[in-house]
Each structure stands twice: as structure tokens, then as C-alpha cells.
Amino acid sequence: MDEWAKRLISTLAMGAGLALAGPVAAQVALKGVSLAGADFGEDNLPGEFGTHYTYPTPAEVDYFLSRGMNLFRLPFRWERLQPVPGAGLDRDELSRLRAIVTYATGKGAHVVLDPHNYARYFGKVVGSPDLPTLALADFWTLLAREFGSDRRVIFGLMNEPFDMATAQWLEQAKMAIAAIRETGAQNLVLVPGNAWSGAHSWTWEDYGGANAVVMAGVRDPGNNFAHEVHQYLDEDSSGASAQCVSATIGSDRLRGFTEWLEQHGAQGFLGEFAGGANERCAAALGDMLGFIERHPDQWIGWAWWAAGPWWGDYAFSLEPEAGRDRPQMAVLDVFLKK
């Protein structure tokens, strides 16, 4: 272990004031990473495979499994998998998606299917007059028929809806969940909120209606869902900066949402989070993950953003570089070994 990693672990243990062992840790079941690539090339839709976008490889799955992860969130573009709303799935694209899903689940991991579309389809907002009302529900009907037989596959309804009425998103989510259950699929469903599904803004009103009010109306005939939130640690929670506000910003921004989960007897999943390779962020990440570990009745797991073959020098990439772990891996290791 290099000196950088040692300092990160030291900061995690001492600066965040977090106990690194405890009986509740194993109860947070799902711990992993988003393997991006199939969501790339959003300005080239559908685009050309291998030029505008790609899929993660079995070698990447094997690496993260070896580090103790058991979940992979797999972002992809709806438009590539279903080029025409209401029509069938593109067989070549489905084959690419199925190949990596089958490999990962065959190794015992869970995979989150993540249409990385921000509640849009070719720029048209779901639930708007510009897109058929049941377009998203139809898409999820097709996905559920393809993947519903494997309970290790998790259905992430949509990545980060934004700039729409929260009630409009709720109706789309409810129709999609009902469509999934009508196929007989009982897979876990992850339901995001509006406004990029930020945990820190869950109670805010100004983005079209507070998630804390509106998303309490989620209904699942299969009673197997969790609320997905994303949370970054920079000043505006956007993830645009590799600098973290403070050593406790993680728990500070998750606390209100966690209390909401407890009040509603609900569960949450942290679908995206990250921090830069510096000591303050190491403390903030440790604080955040430690907070989740201490609330296993409310949290089912987390997925780091991100890894994948095309990230290069992206500040949050967990992709090994020249055979070496990225520095942030040292922080995650503490929690993956529990």
C-alpha cells in the first residue's frame, strides 16, 4: 500500500471519528460501483458501438468482485435499446447488455439496469405530450420480460429525472412499476425522485414539488422497491468538483432523507456518490459510508460513481490505472471488508 492510501485510511479512521468495526455492517447488503460506458455518446444517438459508446468488460467485473463488491450499476441509453417508442428492443444492443449482465450475475453479483436518460427520450420528457404516455412503462415491460427471471437483476427505473413536475414523474414511475409486476417479475425496483434525485434536496419544494411529499405516493404491487438517491460532496452537490465541503458533509446531507425513510418505513439506495483523491474527501466518504452502516434498516446499499473502460483521468474513476488501484479504493476497502 502506498503512502497516499495509508493517509486516506488514517484520515478515515481518525478524522471522521468512525468505528471501523461493528456488527451492523453486514446488514447493508449491496456495495458496488457504476460501470459506465454504454451511456456515453449522448450527442450521438443511437451512435456507433465502439466509437461513441462501449460496454464494460468481464475483466472489470472480476477486478471489483475481487475487492469485495457485489453489485454493478450498469448505465445505458434507452434510445439505443429501443430505437422507436412502443417497438421491440434492438437485438444487437440487447445482446451486448445481456452479455455483461449474464457474466456478472453468473459470478453471484447483482446488476442494476440503469436507463441513464434523465426522464428523457431523444430529448422528450416522459409524461409530456411529446412522448406516448405509456412509453416508459412499455420499455420496462420489455426489459422485465427479458430479465425478470433473474432476481439478481435490479430494475433502476430511471437515472436522475429533473426539470419536471414531481407528480408527473411519480405517475410515470407508478405506471412503470405496475407494468413490471404485470409481467410476473418480482425483482427489486429502485425509484428515484425528481431534481436529479438528490438526498440533500429531498424536502425542497422549488423543483416541482418536494420528493418528501410526492414520492411518498410510490406504490408497488410487489412490495419490493427502494427509493434511489444520489449525493455528491462538493459545494453544490453536483459532483462537478473533486473538493469536499467538510469531513462530515456526507452524513449531513444524508440525515434528513434517512429520517424520512424511517418515518415512512421505507428503504433507500445510494445510487451515486463520489469524492476526490484528497484527505478531506477521504474523511467525508468514510463519514458517509459509516452513517449508512449505522442505519441498516433504512439503507440497502450503495454504488460509487464510477468505473468503466473510457474514463481516462476522470477524478472519480475507480478504474485501475497502470495496474494500480485508484486512491479512493483505499476508503471503500474499509467498508468492503466488513
- Which residues participate in catalysis according to the annotation? 160, 272
Helix (H, G, I), strand (E, B) or coil at 287: helix
Contact yes or no for 314/34 (Cβ under 8 A): no
SS (H, E, C) 259-284: HHHHHHCCCEEEEECCCCCCHHHHHH
Q: Please, which residues have CB within 8 angstroms of residue 59's CB and are 6 or more apart in sequence? A: none
**Calpha distance 13→55 (Å, rounded):** 36
User: Which of 175, 183, 181, 146 has its CA nearest to residue 158?
Assistant: 175
Q: Any bridge partners for residue 32, and if so which?
A: 71, 303
CB atoms within 10 A of CB 257: 25
Q: What is the separation of C-alpha 98 from the centre of its chain, rounded to a whole number of angstroms?
A: 19
User: Which of 52, 150, 48 has its CA nearest to residue 98?
Assistant: 150
User: Quick one: 1 exposed, middle or buried, by C-beta within 10 A (0-12, 13-18, 19+)?
Assistant: exposed
Q: Any bridge partners for residue 155, and if so which?
A: 113, 189
The DSSP code sequence of 168-227 is HHHHHHHHHHHHHHHTT----EEEE-SGGGBSTTTT--TTTS-HHHHGGG---TT--EEE
Pairing of strands 120-121, 124-125: antiparallel
**Cell representation of residue 279:** 484527505
**Calpha distance 45→28 (Å, rounded):** 37
